[in-house]
Structure 1
Amino acid sequence: MPRLCATRPSSTPMSGLFTSYTAQQSLDNSHIGVRGNTVADRAAAEAHSLPSPIDMTTDLTDSLTNLQTTCNRHWDNELTDALQYTSLGRIRHDTRHHWWTHSPSRALDTAVTILRIGHTRLNAHLHKLGMTADPHCPWCPTYPDTPEHLLLQCPRHHSHRTALLQSLYPLLLRRPTLADLLGGSPDPGLAFKILKHTRTFLQKSGQLHRI
């Protein structure tokens, strides 16, 4: 605390004035040069010059939106790259939602899904897993037993394939690809109709047990 210096009162009329002046002068002099007091005074002066405090309540809405956008972008990039090396990549190319339709037959739905992801019991896939020595079609010794061959090429199922192609003509699909037959169309309505005919082909061809 500042040190007050006591002085002897004077009997003159001005003694009160001199006494007050002496005490104030002693107080001011003792305050000067003390580093802590100087710093405190400067801080107080700066505080008075600052604007009033602003409500800085954090709004998490924008933060969560930005986080979700970043995660979705990362997932898009990762999946797009990964799909290039999978059978599903022939049907799906990004993370956009693909509509699906269900049939009364669970076996048919399962067969279509298996053909989409490529993990079938056809010889070409079993051969990759070392589960069979021959990767070829049972009726075509020089052609791999793949989903493409089963649905689009194998002469064993020519009559059923002809019926399939004829059912696709009204849909303006003259040369369907494997992706088309397995619901790869970006138009959900068209994809549903094509899948219905694909299931009919699988059922009539009698090949569900091999898928």
Structure 2
Amino acid sequence: MDTDPTTTACAVYSPTLNFENAWTLTAGTSVFSAELIAIAQALKHIYNLDDHPLEVMIFSDSSSAIKTIMSATQTNNEAVSDARETIASLKSSGTATSIVWIPSHTWIEGNEKADRLAATECTKQNGNKIANNLSAEEIISLTKANWRDDLLSTLRQCQKKCIQVRTRLGVIKWHQHNNRKISTCLHRLRAGHHYLNSFRYRIDQESDPSCRHGFEATENSQHLLLTCPKHENHRTRLRLFLSGNHLPFEEDTILGLNLAIDPRTQFKIRNLLANFLVQSGVINSI
């Protein structure tokens, strides 16, 4: 079995029968189903031989697929039913069937060969397709994935950087903080909805957008975090950390919006920013 973001494939390899084949599966097929389908295809090939052997052993690196086939549990996955029915048909024709688990990625030649066949199949535009029906779980999973993609695409039309940088839904962990007040402050800064004078001016054109400490600059998040002389001493540790890690001292980096930075560094930047907000008293202005 092999998979890439858009294609799932499975393969069968038998040096004894001089047989190998690979198939491209229906979009949305899970890894679990791909393993089941590979076993079912191997069983079908054996059943269709002119001379049925007295005994056959099929090797798979999916213990979950083997356990599911060999159990009596009801399932809506058609590959399980196919495998069970073929095993019963082989038994009635005099062939004893065993499905044996083997570890994956341990250089077992037959297993490595099957993996290579499946990987190659994934790269083909017009592969050897099996129009397998998706299970209920796979349909639900595919529907959710499509919904997430559509929602993310819609969200990206927003002009806010904190939305545009997202590559997936869910929580970005370094955007949170255990302290609720700090977490709220960080979210306000990223979203651009805060109590700084620049935002007050957007609501009331008669208000003063300039720095409340008397400096000649618009009081926005960039001024507050990067340049306001009032807080220069408090941002020293943050500035030194970014410089020491060869990172730019800029708003996106400080607010965790540069997703190219590794998570461990992101958390350190967030903690230094939290310290700056609290020690400077800026947190009470946002």
* 2:264 partner amino acid: G
Q: Give the corresponding residue for 1:17.
A: none
RMSD: 2.6
Q: Which runs of 5+ in 2 are unaligned?
A: 1-132
Going from structure 1 to structure 2, the CA distance change for 1:132 and 1:201 (only over 3 Å counts) comes to farther
Shift of the 148–60 alpha-carbon distance from structure 1 to 2, 3 Å rule, reads same
Higher relative strand content: 2
Shift of the alpha carbon at 1:196? 0.6
Matched with 1:94 is 167
Q: Does 1:149 align with 2:231?
A: no
Q: Tell me, yes or no, if structure 1 residue 178 matches structure 2 residue 251.
A: yes
CA gap 1:87/1:73 in 2 versus in 1, 3 angstroms? closer
Please state which structure has a larger fraction of its residues in helix: 1
Q: TM-score when scaled to structure 2?
A: 0.47
2:187 corresponds, among 103, 108, 113, to 113
Asked if the contact 1:183–1:191 (Cα under 8 Å) also holds between the matched residues in 2, the reply is: yes
Identity %, equivalent residues: 26
Paired residues for 1:1-211 under 5 Å? 59-82=135-158, 85-86=159-160, 88-89=162-163, 92-97=165-170, 98-100=172-174, 101-103=176-178, 105-130=179-204, 133-140=207-214, 142-173=216-247, 175-186=248-259, 187-211=262-286
**What code does the residue aligned with 1:130 have?**
D
Which residue does the alignment assign to 1:14?
none
Indicate how the Cα distance of structure 1 residues 62 and 206 shifts in structure 2: closer, same or farther if over 3 A, else same: closer
Q: How many residues align?
A: 150
Computing the radius of gyration from Cα coordinates, the structure with the larger value is 1
The structure-2 alpha-carbon separation of the partners of 1:132 and 1:94, relative to structure 1 and needing over 3 Å to count, comes to farther
In structure 1, C-alpha distance between the alignment counterparts of 2:228 and 2:188, rounded to whole Å: 19
User: Counterparts of 2:152 and 2:199 in 1: how far apart (Å)?
Assistant: 28
5+ residue gaps in structure 1?
A: 1-56
Q: Give how far 1:199 is off.
A: 0.9
Which residue in 2 is equivalent to 1:46? none
